[in-house]
Amino acid sequence: MAWLVGFLILPSAALVAVGFAERGAYGEIRWSFTLENFRRLLGFGLFDWSADYLWILGRSVWVALVTTVFAVVVSYPLAFFIASRPPRRRYLWLALVVIPFCTNMVIRTYAWMLLFSQHMPFARLAHLLGLIRAETSLYPSVWAVYVGMVSSFLPFATLPLYTSVERLDWSIVEAAEDLYASKRRIFFQAILPQTFPGLTVAVILTFIPAMGVFVVPDMLGGAKTMLVGNLIQQQFGASRDWPFGAAVSLALMVLTLAGLFWLRRRGEGAEWV
């Protein structure tokens, strides 16, 4: 209970308090109650309305969703592959999945920048396919951001799915095959319901950090792909506007909790056909 109060409730309460405060002329926090930070986030200025910050929030949700989908799509067959290996080799494959995660995200992102540079095979292949011009690199681009984020969060999706796949009751799958069920029905009615707990955990562990990440978009995407994590880092850093940064953080928290609530309700009422 003390851990929950010290590391969750108190920081959240401080975030709420700062979010309703205002910024002073020199970047200090003036303790008052104002909704100006949230009005600014919603785009209401002194003379007009702008959707710039809402676009950043929407882009962040979209990038997190795409990252989660691709991470799950890659992790599902990878989890089945690892679970089908002999016991000794399983740990080797799991180690290969986890070892990159032990490296700092900045270092991994620098590695992707090197791989996406103009003299590397990826850029040359993209030029041959007509995706980029000659003597150009694959970054900064939104596709580089997707690749970097999926690779960063792949262990978060693979490990929970592997745990569910390892506990899979294959007798149900064999019974479905004996009844001449199609592969689609076998997957949706025999495999997916059994692995859904792991799938839920994989989605949560991927979507939540993907919503707030700022290192990968900043290094692989440039200024054109600013996400909410970059906006928060900017407000607490260079802009020294902590109240507005706290308001954006609260909006991110609300969006994340809403996504988790929807996923929980979806999981409770799911019917696999």
CATH code (residue 58): 1.10.3720.10
Q: Which residues contact 202 (CB under 8 A, 6 or more apart)?
A: 71, 72, 75, 156, 157, 158, 160, 161
Residue 59 lies in a domain: yes
Residue 101 lies in a domain: yes
Which two three-digit tokens encode residue 166?
Answer: 């390892």
Domain that holds residue 71: 50-268
**Least confident segment among 79-83, 92-96, 240-244, 255-259:** 255-259
Asked, as a colleague might, if the bond just before 140 is cis with ω within 30 of 0, I would say: yes
Residue 240 lies in a domain: yes
Contact (Cβ atoms closer than 8 angstroms) between residue 82 and residue 162: yes
- Please say if the pLDDT value at position 96 is more than 50: yes
The pLDDT, as a whole number, for residue 273 is 40
Residue 213 lies in a domain: yes
Residue 252 lies in a domain: yes
Total structural domains within the chain: 1
**Least confident segment among 1-15, 31-45, 69-83:** 1-15
Residue 273 lies in a domain: no
Distance CA 14, CA 11 (A): 5
Residue 209 lies in a domain: yes
Residue 44 lies in a domain: no
Degrees to nearest 5, angle at CA 18 with 17 and 24: 135
Q: What is the dihedral of CA 195, 201, 204, 207, to 10 degrees?
A: -60
Distance CA 19, CA 71 (A): 33
Q: The whole model's pTM is what?
A: 0.86
Q: What is the pLDDT of residues 97-153, one digit of tens each?
A: 988 888 888 899 999 888 888 777 777 777 777 767 766 777 778 888 899 999 999
Averaged confidence pLDDT in the chain: 85
φ, ψ of residue 245 in degrees (nearest 5): -60, -40
